[in-house]
Structure 1
């Protein structure tokens, strides 16, 4: 039985927010059940469950409402859940005393994954399935419903034949490497059969309705010469952002941006190289020894990327989305299309015995696909345990995971490269360790000289914004992320009026700052002299745009995008700011397709 104190504790967050929330819905229900209530029950059932409180008024400070008939409403609630939802919902319904009145509290449990989606019966599965989003109920999309239904049967999208491709689109060296390892491991089965038969049995190739042999999706991804010829977005993108968000102050959107195409071994290799090239690596003395400290352990990055390519959603509706590896000033994120599959949930991930393979054929092939003297994957269900242990040992802490029906994200927090984690210290010099090192170890949960026990991944909301860049001042931005990068430091120092001493390598930089967003220091434009508007308080990208427009007289948006190397959305945003400030003006009516910009006469 609910006590008044428990009900107060349940409703207090709602009073502070003046709204319902993700897990609690309040309705007055005077005169009968609200017509929207079946949608709320569906939403809670398809999510993480929730609580519905009837007989309480949101309009009057979440206090009991007069004229509420608790007994009839409780009966109606039970009948509705039994008759209007499929599968039927069986909530725990109680009538409780609350400040001298009666209220009805219904606790809705999450529906078993094999029974999802729970939908409003008379509206059908694709029109009557909902999910909870903050304080409201959102209808599930067809894609989300299909992902829920996918849990009821084993997906086979990875074994789908790619009819436009032929066996000539497979890389012969990789194919022979797969066959060699397969015959060595299973000589009784594959020792004497022809290559074509072996490839068909492994799922590298398949036979279409006309008897023709073609690669499967899994075969192309593991051993294709160029899978993106047929599946353009089944690749990986890597972006190194300058700050803590994709939307960043000062116009600097990213400092490295790459797309990796090719078979899985190749894009995995390129991704690992990109992360290594962009992460901080510190050199730390441990007694007389010098050791490198890495911002992120490469073993964890490799395991996370392999998991992403192996377990992502390859259904037709998801093939337009790539895997994203995003590096920020304080974290590394790996995002993949499709949420967790089968028996693996955010509660069970990393636990012994919790394993489900969405793409069985691809997973099997990656166990046989050569990579750096071994294979791409082991597929033993130990990936998250390895990631967590490696990150914790390196001083990063446990990974953070976020899961929805449509996407999965894993986040690594940056480690301190100024210190060597105690788990990597040479025990011969442990006695020489300073007290500060011990304090630091304790602060991140490490025992001095011992490999820490892995912790369970931290579950965070999706999306998770991290640090709010709006709270970062220009000076903090400069000190934390710009300072020490010569080709960015010079224009920002000038922008903020900071006196900057010459740095090693400055003589190799161009006389003016390069285009913001360019991939390298030599990507800039300019005349080699400081633009006349340099002291007007404009950002470096705004300066670059004004300089280009001034030099050419007039310029269109596509020309400015090409000249600066910045994303079109960023250039468009900066042009709008310059228009509002009166620095430039349009040469054509606002919506003209021939629009160009010129400096506004003083």
Structure 2
């Protein structure tokens, strides 16, 4: 834009107010503050305007205007704003008084005033922290820097599992002919090379290229992580991991029963649709540049789904709870989820979770993790569930296996039990202590050299 210093009357304004794109200054005695406001607005909205001769309450006081005044404003902006911008500076009439209007536009953010970066928050200018500045730069380049659209250098067409691709295309209503043509239809190839999203979703072994293509699950015997009953890692494509996560939760929470006519129907203590949505969100929107996996942690009172990476695109916990909005860190991956009917386009996922499980909590932990927490329910709170029918299937299987191993070898150690069953030594200790308290199991002799005795079946 060219700088203009000619008198240019404009329509009289009587309702000027400070906003995120308008700043009012009583005179050029506040020129430095005005330059800072210009940078703050550019960093937030890539446009803005500053008026000199109008107080911040909107009262028009006027500004003495000369050629030197306009040159001073232009010079302050040229000397103290980086990268360079080219403002339109105009002498303008507001009512019967003369004022100065400075209009700016620019997309080369972040902009700096006097060596510092600022952001507009409401009608105030706030200096950006190092982390906020980093996020601003990443936000500007997010399309170019998206992980899912980057080429996976080491992967080839031979790494793609044709069966996985065929099953996916069938869900989408598309036909399979060759692997390259099919991937082309899904925009998963660039110049003949596989994109990260193609490998994550359809490679025979995605973990060969991405060690964080992993799901980590654990069950804890208390309200914290002090007693681990069981822990397991899963590897594979993102769709397989979603299914594994869903199965793991269903295996380790209470399943009640209710009658529908003559049929008995399983009733999990947490709505499956709700936690499935939480799982899908975790894999779809996570930050795949972070080495960590998606983690499922099952405690006595809750189930946590932990996803690497904070909310994206300026979203907040309050925003996602109250409004149907969506900002997608992995746009291509989200499109694949949508094509296969795993997510909806308009960000209804959080709303659906809260409709089915209103007590669900969302939290950002530090700078690295987003956590969705689903409350486990006391089964007595379900009027439609028969308490006598409630079972903890996995716990019963583990207990039965422990008893069978003890029958065959009464001197078996905790470590040997853990290895045979596939759970941790702490998990075995937890189960053994519980069996002793129930009067089912008894220890004869010392820890070393003693043996187990089953008191009652």
Corresponding position of 1:437 = none
1:333 & 1:192 partners in 2: Cα distance?
A: 38
Q: How far apart are residue 400 of structure 1 and its match?
A: 3.6
Q: 1:172 aligns with which of 162, 179, 198?
A: 162
Corresponding position of 1:270 = 244
SS state at 2:418 partner: coil
1:291 & 1:179 partners in 2: Cα distance?
A: 32
1:170 & 1:278 partners in 2: Cα distance?
A: 33
Change (3 A) 1:416 1:115: farther
Q: 1:330 aligns with which of 301, 305, 325?
A: 301
Structure 1 residue 232 corresponds to structure 2 residue 193: no
Structure 1 residue 407 corresponds to structure 2 residue 307: no
Q: How far apart are residue 267 of structure 1 and its match?
A: 0.9
For residues 161-560 of structure 1, the aligned pairs below 5 Å read: 161-182=151-172, 184=174, 196-207=180-191, 213-246=192-225, 248=226, 253-283=227-257, 291-315=265-289, 318=290, 320-342=291-313, 344-369=315-340, 375-392=341-358, 397-402=359-364, 405-421=367-383, 510-511=410-411, 514-515=414-415, 518=418, 521=421
How many equivalent pairs are there?
A: 324
1:336 & 1:120 partners in 2: Cα distance?
A: 37
SS state at 1:303 partner: helix
More strand by share: 2
Change (3 A) 1:284 1:367: closer
SS state at 1:349 partner: helix
Corresponding position of 1:3 = none
1:547 & 1:80 partners in 2: Cα distance?
A: 75
Change (3 A) 1:505 1:339: same
- C-alpha contact (below 8 Å) 2:324/2:346 kept by paired residues: no
- C-alpha contact (below 8 Å) 2:216/2:232 kept by paired residues: yes
2:299 & 2:111 partners in 1: Cα distance?
A: 38
2:167 & 2:197 partners in 1: Cα distance?
A: 16
1:205 & 1:346 partners in 2: Cα distance?
A: 35
Q: How far apart are residue 513 of structure 1 and its match?
A: 5.9
Q: TM-score, normalised by structure 1?
A: 0.45
Q: TM-score, normalised by structure 2?
A: 0.57
- C-alpha contact (below 8 Å) 2:35/2:113 kept by paired residues: no
1:523 & 1:172 partners in 2: Cα distance?
A: 34
Corresponding position of 1:372 = none
1:508 & 1:118 partners in 2: Cα distance?
A: 74
Higher relative contact order (CA 8 A, sep 6+): 2
Q: How far apart are residue 203 of structure 1 and its match?
A: 2.6
1:174 & 1:87 partners in 2: Cα distance?
A: 49
1:298 & 1:328 partners in 2: Cα distance?
A: 17
Corresponding position of 1:60 = none
Q: How far apart are residue 410 of structure 1 and its match?
A: 0.8
Change (3 A) 1:418 1:524: same
- C-alpha contact (below 8 Å) 1:515/1:523 kept by paired residues: no
2:259 & 2:408 partners in 1: Cα distance?
A: 31
Change (3 A) 1:322 1:508: same
Corresponding position of 1:156 = 146
- C-alpha contact (below 8 Å) 1:170/1:225 kept by paired residues: yes
SS state at 1:340 partner: coil
SS state at 1:240 partner: strand
Q: How far apart are residue 312 of structure 1 and its match?
A: 0.9
Q: How far apart are residue 268 of structure 1 and its match?
A: 1.2
Structure 1 segments unaligned to the other structure (5+ residues): 1-76, 94-113, 130-136, 185-190, 208-212, 370-374, 426-482, 491-502, 526-542, 552-602
Q: Which has the larger radius of gyration?
A: 2
Corresponding position of 1:87 = 40
- C-alpha contact (below 8 Å) 2:213/2:236 kept by paired residues: no
Q: How far apart are residue 402 of structure 1 and its match?
A: 3.4
- C-alpha contact (below 8 Å) 1:283/1:290 kept by paired residues: yes
1:524 & 1:173 partners in 2: Cα distance?
A: 35
2:109 & 2:366 partners in 1: Cα distance?
A: 14
1:119 & 1:417 partners in 2: Cα distance?
A: 58
Show CA shifts across 1:51-109 (max 9, x none).
xxxxxxxxxxxxxxxxxxxxxxxxxx99789759963899xx9xxxxxxxxxxxxxxxx
Show CA shifts across 1:152-181 (max 9, x none).
343522011101010111110122234445
Change (3 A) 1:194 1:116: same
Show CA shifts across 1:248-289 (max 9, x none).
2xxxx3111111110012111111121111112234679997
1:237 & 1:79 partners in 2: Cα distance?
A: 53
Change (3 A) 1:120 1:308: farther
Stretches of 4+ aligned residues off by more than 6 angstroms: 77-82, 114-120, 191-194, 285-289, 483-488, 503-506, 522-525
Show CA shifts across 1:276-305 (max 9, x none).
111122346799975544232221121111
- C-alpha contact (below 8 Å) 2:324/2:347 kept by paired residues: yes
- C-alpha contact (below 8 Å) 2:343/2:349 kept by paired residues: no
2:324 & 2:178 partners in 1: Cα distance?
A: 36
